[in-house]
Structure 1
Amino acid sequence: MIQKKLSPKRRETARAAILEGALYWHIASMPPDLIDKINILQATLAAMKEAFDRLFARYRRDSIGKTADIEKSLTVIVDGNQLPDIHGDFNLTAEPKADGRYPCVMAASILAKTERDRCMMEYHKQYPLYRYDLHKGYGTKLHRSLIEVYGASPIQRHSFTFKKV
């Protein structure tokens, strides 16, 4: 939520501050062909699981001998209404719009959004006709019109459709 309200410059400033202060973080993404195969929700849950597993592996490695007691006091908050398939001796909760209530979830949202924007800028260099620098891959009028003119780009999900209004 907040990541959408911040200007790109302020998001990047926030990103730098988050990375400087974060003990652990990890960003996971899923390729378009996997999203097409398993659907966007399942791909999102798989990315959450991958991010959690990698993040928690580092945490456990750094906390040898101390994790059992600490784990019981941890709460893992997922922004949404579905939980990924992760298990441990910690609290796990899904909460829609958690990025508007919990600073740690806000921080994760900012990291995810800035990472996505950076990826889209790289894709723009590879596929300049698609103007990923302007729409960042979102289904804007510009993006839809470019797909109509040029067809789907190699990074496009084939399962992505536009509703005619």
Structure 2
Amino acid sequence: MSPEISREDREVVARQLGRPPRALRAVAHRCPCGQPDVVQTSPRLEDGTPFPTTYYLTCPRASAAASRLESAGRMREWQADLGTDPQLAAGYRAAHEAYLAERDALGVLPTRSTAGGMPDRVKCLHALAAHALAAGPGANPVGDRAVESMGEWWANGPCAPPEEGP
């Protein structure tokens, strides 16, 4: 993870989101095209409001791919798998603890909730995929499933082409 956000990366993320990014700390993962696709955010917004989403999926193509998985019922399917696969459930619980430790290292929030429904529910594939990309393969087994199922969102090149000058 790059400790500083470059002006160019900040501009790319703003184009990806369609708005200025909030609580931006670092680029947590880069798409194979080279642009940020996951950013790390602070546990609080600039005004002090809690913001528990530590890893945020910024690439609109990756986000659309995660949305398609949610629409196809993958959350229900993988939720059921948590109840029947003890190894998956243990890996998901470990991902939850690691996520909280990473977030708490940035600043403790008043609640211990985490992203994506961890450790007992599969609630948001966007958050789980972002965590899996940021933390690397094997860190979040449900997030890994999401990333693998999302396909090659980068195949058509960068999602946020450079802005044209005047």
State the TM bucket, normalised to the shorter chain.
under 0.3
Please tell me whether Structure 1 or Structure 2 has the larger radius of gyration of its CA atoms: 1
Structure with the larger helix share:
1
